[in-house]
Structure 1
Amino acid sequence: MSQLDFPRDFVWGTATASFQVEGAAFEDGRGESIWDRFCRIPGKVFAGHNGDVACDQYHRYPEDIRLMKEAGIQAYRFSIAWPRIIPLGTGAVNPKGIAYYRALATALREAGIEPVATLYHWDLPQALQDKGGWENRETAYAFEAYARTCFTELGDLIHQWITLNEPWCSAYLGYGMGAHAPGIQDKHAAVRAVHHLNLAHGLAVRAFRESGKPGTIGITWNIMVHRPATRNEKDRLAAEIAIERDSRMFTGPVCGHGYPRRFLEQAGITIPEQPGDLDIIASPIDFAGLNYYSENVVAWDELTEDHIRFMPTWQEKTDMGWSIVPQGFVRHLRWLSAETGGIPLYVTENGCAQKDVVVIDEHGQKRVHDAGRIAYLRDHFLAMKQALDEGIPLKGYFLWSLLDNFEWAHGYSKRFGIVYIDYSTLQRIPKDSYYYYRDLIAGYGE
């Protein structure tokens, strides 16, 4: 039997996000997002890049669907741009935004590809940020209304929903570290954002149940199960605290365990919760998504505020500088399965940034030989198979990413795609990893 012999009903997909691939930033009534604004702040995004055109999937989605179909890809995880649906975040719905996602989902279904929609992948309407963004509790209720609109208008075509993508990034990078939009550096702002994102998730789950639409709903986390640098008791404690900060602040309330009180007390922060919030946040979900790229090593440090210090690692690094740790993938899946009580899991992102180069082959065709990415993927598929063999309820995998795209603060300098994008012409060039993934899905991935 093949080492990479997966269940027949295992779902093989790929993923993108609206701001990273769509472009058409000022077309058909789309409103301004916090990333449109952030990209205009000098020094925030590599080389001043922006998402105005990106991969132009807004106009070229039929070509991208054809590429997916030819690779045998069974599901496509994309995100819906809130500013396309409700340009100001609240109020009037934009019919052209609804029409675009209906056309996309219809074309996917006609190609035999299941549409999987993420409601929020970081592109908050700027009009809501002007009122406080995720620091403002009202943003959670605005998200609930937006989610209801999506369920009503698209629920006949889309049957698998993800509320939020990586709320850790939205809260900590956006409001704590300032590295992502909206660029705020305030740990208390970050904690307010954490709670209101969690609340928004719960409100959207409740709204989905009330909608009566068919399908399932869950959430995607980039949980971090940091491993201690040594067997030393203090290093183990540092790892536990880091996991509370980076994972249980999000998984805890959603899974009905509440917030990690030890971390909150040590950090001197207060959750702005109101009566009933935790019940809403803990509305039962149908599945959980894991975005996994790497695993960090931490040690105890008396001098840092959280007593956590990230340590060097020996593993080979991707072009993002992230250690390649396939066995960490198994550890993360085990942790998430235990934390969520054994509900179905999906790998909603996994992939590798490489310095890809286009060459001309003997037939005069453009090719990209990305052997490093193929090695990364194969090692992670083997780890995923180990997790399945251990009984972890893993139901599917979405490779990040279908296309090279706008990589947030890194602009277009990092390439994660299995399809190369020539940003001067927007030509799509399938990489060797595209053909490898095609073969894996067909049962010939070794």
Structure 2
Amino acid sequence: MTIYQFPTDFKWGTATAAYQVEGAANIDGRGPSIWDTFSKTPGKVYGGDTGDVACDSYHRYKEDIQLMKELGVTTYRFSVSWPRVFPLGQEEVNQLGLDYYHQVVDELLHAGIEPMCTLYHWDLPQALEDKGGWWNRETIDAYEKYAELMFREFSGKIKQWITFNEPWCASYLSNYLGIHAPGHQDLQLATTIAHHMLVAHGKTVQMFRELQVEGQIGIAPNLTWAVPYTNKQEDKDACLREVMWTGDWFLDPIYFKTYPKELLEWFEKEGVSPPIIDGDMNIIAEPIDFIGVNYYSAGVSRFNENAGMLQSEAMDMGLERTDIGWPIDARGLYEALHYVADKYGNPSIYITENGACINDEPNLEGEVDDKRRVNYLKQHIIQLHRSIEDGINVKGYMAWSLLDNFEWAEGYGKRFGIVYVNFRTLERVKKESYYWYGKLVKHNWFESTQ
């Protein structure tokens, strides 16, 4: 039996996103987002599901915060619905929407839970999409106005800010692969959007400094980790392209004022390049306080000239998989954290998302015994502990997710929560993983034979 003890100031938390949990899509002045439009487009979301009701956290936030208080976490990462605050993306503020977030933050603080706010978790106001969305540089200005309002309203109350969640998903998954809203399939469009998001990020960080907002600000990319199938250079290069596309493409401009050379050259072969104008790279490179790391899975890949734009083919190594089909390999978290620490000077890191899709249902006693999720969390938190022991500067861990929720294009068919949600009655049921995680949080250590 081994005991894994964490630093005394380590922050344990959990996370959600507005469109996935809030519901109340047409209530109290909220405007439509690209996800409202996308989810109502036939064939885009499994089962025709939408986020209209989701977990109804808009009305049940006190119940959900009480769940977190009982869990014992000290940090809650949530996102603000931009169209709930600015129904048209800019111009008039929806005071009812703003009041809602004040109520949530006040309730969190009263419960002794520190809010960590994500400004953009994919729900772009549809009114801005109708004007070109993130392809249009005017959206950068609208995002700045939205961010400024949030900083001024919540300065002193929210001290941890994230500009963008998983910018790769919001750009390439959504606008090149077309799997997420708004569903375009154009590599240059996606690359332009990725660049504009980075400029918006940089301008927002600059404004954060100018306003002298108390606290810290960062960005949260989703890190892919890929291990070469063989020692052949072409396999190593294919894996590096995978890793760079989701992480380095967004972090190199922040830390080095340039995009990764390997991917720039790869995109140029496709006739694609970021639309950089004078001053952009200096803006993007405004120093941040931390990197948020979203990590779920690792893979083994090899070069295959017919395997998509990156020419990287995932290999089936017979690993156990979660119920969304992602292989479980916790060592990838350890290796990805080392990669980030080595490349970017060992910055402060928060694990802003980590969790597993396990679709266990309540048994006859009404209990959800999700042992596979417990095992997943245990394996990954061991690798997290291992990283900290190596000197990597990880400050906290947010389990994804507090609640089963609307899982984007997968609808309600995939469950990531440590609390079960009955989507007919909206009843919440604590899972075995909730109790396991709560024990870890309470003691700041756990023991394992793994």
| TM-score band w.r.t. shorter chain | over 0.9
Q: Which residue of 2 aligns with 1:15?
A: 15
Paired with 2:226 and 2:141, the residues of 1 have a C-alpha distance of 33
Q: Which of 270, 280, 284 in structure 1 is aligned with 2:287? A: 284
Mapping for residues 205-220 of structure 1, pairs under 5 Å: 205-220=205-220
Do residues 312 (structure 1) and 313 (structure 2) align? no
Displacement of 1:141 in angstroms is: 1.7
Paired with 1:4 and 1:379, the residues of 2 have a C-alpha distance of 11
Q: Which of 338, 342, 345 in structure 2 is aligned with 1:338? A: 342
Q: Which residue of 1 aligns with 2:384?
A: 384
Displacement of 1:385 in angstroms is: 0.5
Displacement of 1:181 in angstroms is: 0.2
Displacement of 1:436 in angstroms is: 0.3
Paired with 1:171 and 1:384, the residues of 2 have a C-alpha distance of 28
Do residues 167 (structure 1) and 191 (structure 2) align? no
Paired with 2:55 and 2:294, the residues of 1 have a C-alpha distance of 22
Q: Which residue of 2 aligns with 1:101?
A: 101
Mapping for residues 300-379 of structure 1, pairs under 5 Å: 300-304=303-307, 305-361=309-365, 366-379=366-379
Q: Which of 272, 276, 293 in structure 1 is aligned with 2:296? A: 293
Q: Deviations over 1:147-189 (max 9, x none)?
A: 0010011223111100000000000111101100001001111
Secondary structure, in 3 states, of the residue corresponding to 1:255? helix
Q: Deviations over 1:401-445 (max 9, x none)?
A: 000000000000000000000011100000010000110112263
Paired with 2:213 and 2:246, the residues of 1 have a C-alpha distance of 33
Secondary structure, in 3 states, of the residue corresponding to 2:256? coil
Displacement of 1:222 in angstroms is: 0.4
Paired with 1:330 and 1:312, the residues of 2 have a C-alpha distance of 21
Q: Matched residues, percent identical? A: 48
Q: Which residue of 2 aligns with 1:5?
A: 5
Mapping for residues 22-171 of structure 1, pairs under 5 Å: 22-171=22-171
Paired with 1:214 and 1:71, the residues of 2 have a C-alpha distance of 27
Q: Deviations over 1:238-292 (max 9, x none)?
A: 1222233332211110112411233222222111011110111110000001001
Secondary structure, in 3 states, of the residue corresponding to 2:4? coil
Conserved in 1, the CA contact under 8 Å of 2:257 and 2:284?
no
Displacement of 1:302 in angstroms is: 2.7
Paired with 2:155 and 2:73, the residues of 1 have a C-alpha distance of 22
Conserved in 1, the CA contact under 8 Å of 2:87 and 2:94?
yes
Paired with 2:130 and 2:219, the residues of 1 have a C-alpha distance of 26
Paired with 1:262 and 1:377, the residues of 2 have a C-alpha distance of 34
Secondary structure, in 3 states, of the residue corresponding to 2:225? coil
Q: Deviations over 1:114-148 (max 9, x none)?
A: 01100000000001111111111111121111100
Secondary structure, in 3 states, of the residue corresponding to 1:35? helix
Paired with 2:275 and 2:120, the residues of 1 have a C-alpha distance of 22
Structure 1 unaligned segments of length 5 or more: list them: none
Paired with 1:81 and 1:326, the residues of 2 have a C-alpha distance of 32
| Alignment TM-score, normalising by the size of structure 2 | 0.96
Letter in 1 for 2:42: P
Q: Which of 271, 276, 285 in structure 1 is aligned with 2:274? A: 271
Aligned Cα RMSD in Å? Answer: 1.2
Displacement of 1:313 in angstroms is: 2.5
Conserved in 1, the CA contact under 8 Å of 2:3 and 2:446?
no
Q: Which residue of 2 aligns with 1:204?
A: 204
Does 159-168 or 223-232 show the bigger shift?
223-232
Q: Which residue of 2 aligns with 1:445?
A: 446
Conserved in 2, the CA contact under 8 Å of 1:135 and 1:192?
yes
Letter in 2 for 1:422: N
Letter in 1 for 2:371: A
Paired with 2:363 and 2:260, the residues of 1 have a C-alpha distance of 51
Structure 1 stretches of 4+ with a deviation exceeding 4 A read none
